A and B are shown apart, each in its own frame.
Chain A
Amino acid sequence: MALDNLTAATAVELVSELQTRRLSATELTQSCLNRIAAVNPRLNAVITVCEEQALREAAEADLMLQRGDGGPLTGLPLLHKDIFCTRGVATTCSSKMLENFVPPYDATVVSRLRAAGTVMLGKTNMDEFAMGSSTETSAFGVTRNPWNTDCVPGGSSGGAAAAVAAGFAPLSTGTDTGGSIRQPASLCGITGLKPTYGRVSRLGIIAFASSLDQAGPMTRTAEDAALMLQVMSGVDPGDSTSADVEVPDFRSQMGDSIQGLRIGIPQQYFSQSLDARVAQTIQAALDELVQEGAELVDIDLPHTEQGIATYYIIAPAEASANLSRYDGVRFGYRCEAPKDLADLYERSRTEGFGDEVKRRILVGTYALSAGFYDAYFKKAQQVRRLISQDFKHAFEHCDVIAGPAAPGVAFGLGSKTQDPLAMYLEDIYTLSVNLAGLPGMSVPAGLIDDMPVGLQLIGRAFDEATLLRAAHRFQLRTDHHRIRPTLAEVGS
């Protein structure tokens, strides 16, 4: 073993070890499985471990590597958020509703990563049906933040963020509907990228809000994110909303200078609701980017505040329909001894869904009801267009927009569960990006009282390459992304 600490290594470092045969995929996989076995009981980041399957896949990867016909990701272990359908492996969306659901198919993202030679270690915990910002709505218990196990990891991809931060795997998939990759990445001190809507296929990802959902990589570095995004991206004939847009070679441009890159700073992202120390940390990160040659430009995103209301109409409305298929008739949870059809529907859904999911179904159903459609859903769609316009105008003056990914650091478990609105505010800086369909990224920017803070970078549609380049230049200058939580060292 050439690397002293496999669980802290980046994917790029590991690839080099694997390709040169200094490290076998089996060794690496076993070390990840050991790490999960030792630390996961304290975090509950992973809810399904596929030990046998992972070792089998690792052995296959080793054969390929020996023959010298492995791809760029061959032998790399990864975890999938439990929202991605995985053939033959339980896919629950962290809901009682799908506790026993084993899909007979892989999501496109899963099959692409599988075809690239990655080794699937298991499935990560999440907020139920991706509805939440703390991974506390999971039907299978909360996930704890590896930096402080009394705090949440963020959500909904909290299991994925905690797992990557805790050294379970160098890579995890996540999905982001309103911030579900970027906010937990920020709270767990990892790198998370939500691509442009349409960049990555949604086929086989259990839908929350179809016009907002997007899958992306959750990794330790921007370089690793580029490595993974390369495989995940590209048009899929099975997803009509996936975009037939050329996928650039993300890594080839990463080392390029950001001299003259104009970074837009929206005043709305630095208002009084932002924690002052977070603001300072972000400012310090921006200073680093300026040192790299970037210019800061003040920009205006006037409808930022309306983003929350807009999002909390559109996302629940779409979800209310997307979740109608969980009716107890064909698959998923069915109540005991229903007395008639109405009882079957009512009790299966009442018992199978958690409170937050039910809250959103109710809100969404209400917003679409006869007599309310124009006032809510239609108006929200109009505001959504205004928000897109805001970004379009802003990008006339800058190349990248920067700000915080979340209003604060990780908060205490249970501290916001009784106040949905406070929880919803967690996504104030991220959800407009989904409404506009743009790519967004969170990169570690430093610690406040030993808890990580993420810098958010937002790009033009299909310009992930510029985000990745800016993030990479930042990571070349700084070592925030290298600092691992203390817990990680305890368990290794």
Chain B
Amino acid sequence: MNWEVVMGLEVHLQLATESKIFSGAANQFGARPNEQACAVDLGMPGMLPVLNAQAVRYAVMFGLGVGATIGKRSVFDRKNYFYPDLPKGYQVSQFFEPIVCEGLFEVPMADGSLFPVRITRAHLEEDAGKSVHDAYAGQTGIDLNRAGTPLLEIVTEPDFRTAEQAVAYLKSLHSLATYLGISDGNMAEGSMRCDINVSLRPQGSETYGTRTEIKNVNSFRFVERAIAVEAERQRDILEAGGEVTQETRLYDADRNETRSMRSKEVANDYRYFPEPDLLPILLDDHYIEAIRAELPELPGAKRSRFIDTYALNDYDASLLVDSRAMADYFETATAISKAPKLTANWILGDLAAALNRAALDITASPVSAEALAGLILRVADETLSSKLAKQVFDGLWQNEGSADAIIEARGLKQVTDTGAIEAMVQQVIDDHPGQVAQYQAADEGKQKKLLGFFVGQVMKASQGQANPQRLNALLKDMLAKR
């Protein structure tokens, strides 16, 4: 039977606010255990939450960014369960009335098409602390630094059919969050965590199969793999005539398998009820519109503009707008180089490769947008051949100065002076009478091959600086004359 994989995603996005969602403690990653947790975060008796206005603002920015309706009234609820890293014995979340309601988010796919994803809701909540199982033999440590970190939980409808769609959505979400500056999106540090609901159904079926939820998959690559192995596991069960159990499963990257965490029978009854310590969040149009007016240009709009303004293709435009820093880099460089396509090629080609090798983000690039533009100007005016340009790029990477300074210092100027090339060609012809005779006797096909020999000789004589196009033309011309 042909099975269709159906998926919905739940993403927990940590918001990069200065302080925690309900306390004044700093909200940063990497402090020593429990040094970033105050009495509120510890759930000390008598302590009360105070809502962080920045978290509300970020949630609204996100809602507007995904084209969702903003809940003008949203309410916090208590989600009750016992766990050692949950200090109050309940998590403050939004269950009945979330701050972000339905939306439609268009995700660019590799083929240039847009894949629409229905956003069900996004709500604000506090993160829990962390249980540390490997620090003390036979004991569990509790680190509450993370407790109270603002989270936005973003829930989609079951709209995904392939892992590719899921990953494209996650990348878009990541890109949106970093554009808005509401999250650092660092998946390795847990700033963006993904739960995947997966079910299978026979191709063409209208009803959904029983789903499992895969928890906390923390890289795009693992998302792809987790979906693949879970779909395969469910397919095996269904094809053997079995039934999938509704349960929460954990993806183990080392063994590339999912395994059961808890089944529905032992699932918690969270006993949600409105949090009496906090007032409802009431937002008016004025507040929402003021935020809308201040939103930066978002990836989708920027992508369209890059295609229209710079005549880039879909693919390049998508790659360039993936991060706001990369897009800004492109626009800065293009403003100087006036050569958008060439600039895009350099950024997505040599620069991206070099950054990748050095494991650097574009924001930490040793080659500035201005410096790269200086190089591109020299390529555009034919001062540099592409081969020489790579050498100049190396110089830029090594911080040897501007492109012009490197060209000067390394003597890399391309020889475009026809007279000088002519003289070198003449010298090579004179030095190789045998090869010349061979060339002239050969048919057109063979001549092409033999031409390479002469090009090589002249290039050698020019130390690689002869303009290849001019050299080719002159060689053909002068060899034919004989």
A-side residues, CB < 8 A to B, are: 84-85, 91, 93, 98, 101, 103-105, 107, 202-207, 209-211, 237-241, 317-318, 320-321, 323-325, 327, 329-331, 341, 345, 365, 368-370, 373, 377
Contact = CB atoms under 8 A, between A and B. Distances in A.
Given A317-B273, A330-B42, A240 B88 contact: no
A204 B39 CA distance: 11
Contact of A240 (B48, B78, B82): B48
B482 interface: no
B77 to A, nearest CB: 10
Given A238-B50, A325-B43, 13 more contacts: A91-B45, A205-B46, A207-B277, A238-B48, A240-B49, A240-B278, A241-B276, A321-B90, A324-B80, A325-B45, A327-B82, A330-B43, A369-B271
Contacts, number: 98
A341 B49 CA distance: 27
Contacts of A320: 80, 271
A169 B441 CA distance: 123
B80 A368 contact: yes
Contacts of A104: 39
B45 A211 contact: no
Contact of A321 (B87, B142, B273, B278): B273
B424 interface: no
Contacts of A345: 82
Nearest to A209: B276
Nearest to A371: B269
B89 interface: yes
B45 A370 contact: no
26 contacts: A93-B45, A101-B45, A103-B44, A104-B39, A105-B39, A105-B44, A203-B47, A211-B276, A240-B277, A241-B276, A241-B277, A321-B80, A321-B88, A323-B89, A324-B80, A324-B82, A324-B88, A325-B89, A327-B84, A329-B142, A330-B142, A368-B271, A369-B269, A370-B271, A373-B272, A377-B273
Interface in B255-312: 269, 271-273, 276-279
Contacts of B142: 329-330
Interface of B: 39, 42-51, 78, 80, 82, 84, 87-90, 142, 269, 271-273, 276-279
Nearest to A324: B89
Contacts of A325: 43, 45, 87-89
B25 to A, nearest CB: 14
A277 B45 CA distance: 42
A211 B44 CA distance: 19
A91 B39 CA distance: 15
A321 B78 contact: yes
Best-buried of B84, B142, B272, B273 by chain A (most CB within 10 Å): B273
Main DSSP-derived SS at the A contact region = loop
Given A104-B39, A210-B276, A329-B142, A204 B46 contact: yes
B45 A206 contact: yes
Contact of B50 (A84, A237, A318): A237
Nearest to B83: A341
Best-buried of A103, A207, A325 by chain B (most CB within 10 Å): A325
Contacts of A241: 276-279
Nearest to B269: A370
B89 A85 contact: no
Contacts of B273: 317-318, 321, 368, 373, 377
A323 B271 CA distance: 14
A144 B80 CA distance: 38
A390 B45 CA distance: 34
Nearest to A212: B276
Contacts of A98: 45
Contact of B46 (A85, A329, A369): A85
Contacts of B277: 207, 210, 240-241
A324 B78 CA distance: 11
Contacts of B42: 330
Nearest to A323: B89
B50 A240 contact: yes
A206 B82 contact: no
Contacts of A377: 273
Contacts of B43: 325, 330
Nearest to A93: B45
Nearest to B51: A240
A202 B272 CA distance: 23
A369 B269 CA distance: 7
A1 to B, nearest CB: 38
Nearest to B49: A240
B46 A365 contact: no
Nearest to B50: A240
A228 to B, nearest CB: 20
A318 B276 contact: yes
B276 A329 contact: no
B271 A103 contact: no
A92 to B, nearest CB: 10
Contacts of B272: 368, 373
Given A210-B277, A329-B142, A85 B45 contact: yes
